[in-house]
Amino acid sequence: MMSDDLVEPVDTALRDQGEGLADQAARAVLAYRDGDRGPLAALVQVMTPLLWHTVRAQGADSELAQDIVQNVWLTLVRDIESIRDPRATLQWMLVTAKRAAWRAVRRSRDEQVRQDSDEHATDWLTTPADDLPDAVAVRDERDRVLWGHVGELSDRCRRLLGLVAMVDRPDYAVVSRALGMPVGSIGPTRGRCLAKLRVALAADPAWSLS
């Protein structure tokens, strides 16, 4: 079970690593305060997938996850005047989403335990490659091999890599920190999770020879 982590200030060193979601979110907040809602609408388009997967990674079912994601956006808009550091917006939203999901999932699991039910929300990123629905675009053998090795990683590593994959390089550190992973868990160096995956892939002839 993941712990409920504190928000830390966004690393100022990130500022020189190019435009990422954190930058885009900061600009959207400032524009919204100035009466221009366009940049925030654009941000909703590009950031909702990351929030979605952050919430799903906590084990929230689809309906619950949709409510939580929508609520995070509404909370942002309601509190938008009181955000002191707009550059922390991305991290704040990720932490808010994660916490809301974690609480909601814990609550629903408690209820299920009381009802003597064994049903759990489907755990994210744990579907075996052979059980992926046909509609899922496993384009080639390498996809299947990659999915298999990701499935062998710890829960923490699987979540970290799955969410970091959703963003570009400037946002790696913000995403890992929002997940409660130590600073430097990924970006600028690989960190242990990505290293484990690389070592496993390199040792797998199905990956390295194809």
Partner 1 sequence: MTAAEDRELALVAAGGIDAEDRAILGRLAALVEATDPVPPGLVDRIGLALTMEALHAEIAELHLVGEPALAVRADETSIEAGTITFTTDVLTVMISVHPEGGRVRVDGWAAPAGEISVELHQGGDVTTTQSDADGRFSFADVERGPARLVLRRPSDPTVPIVTPQIEL
Question: What whole-number distance in Å separates Cα of residue 54 and Cα of residue 124?
Answer: 10
Out of 8, 110, 198, 210, which residue is the one contacting partner 1 (CB under 8 A)? Answer: 198
The answer to the question of residue 124 lying near partner 1 (CB under 8 A) is: yes
Residue 44 DSSP label: H
Least separation in angstroms between CB 137 and partner 1? 4
> For partner 1, how many residues bind (rule: CB under 8 A)?
55
Cβ count within 10 A of residue 147: 17
The answer to the question of residue 31 lying near partner 1 (CB under 8 A) is: no
The three-point CA angle 187-87-164 to 5° equals 30
- Candidates 1-9, 89-97, 122-130, 175-183; binding stretch for partner 1 (CB under 8 A): 122-130
User: Phi then psi for 28, rounded to 5 degrees?
Assistant: -65, -40
The answer to the question of residue 187 lying near partner 1 (CB under 8 A) is: yes
Least separation in angstroms between CB 191 and partner 1? 6
Question: What whole-number distance in Å separates Cα of residue 36 and Cα of residue 32?
Answer: 5
Question: What whole-number distance in Å separates Cα of residue 158 and Cα of residue 56?
Answer: 13
The answer to the question of residue 183 lying near partner 1 (CB under 8 A) is: no
- Candidates 21-29, 93-101, 109-117, 195-203; binding stretch for partner 1 (CB under 8 A): 195-203
Report CA dihedral (11, 14, 20, 24) to the nearest 10 degrees.
Answer: 60
Q: Is 63 helix (H, G, I), strand (E, B) or coil?
A: helix
The answer to the question of residue 70 lying near partner 1 (CB under 8 A) is: yes
The answer to the question of residue 92 lying near partner 1 (CB under 8 A) is: no
Of the candidates 164, 167, 161, the residue with the CA atom closest to the CA atom of residue 20: 167
Least separation in angstroms between CB 6 and partner 1? 25
Q: Which residues bind partner 1 (CB under 8 A)?
A: 37-38, 40-42, 44-45, 48-49, 52-53, 56, 62, 66, 69-70, 73-74, 77-78, 124-125, 127, 132, 135-139, 142-143, 146-147, 150, 161-162, 164-166, 169, 172, 186-192, 194-199, 201
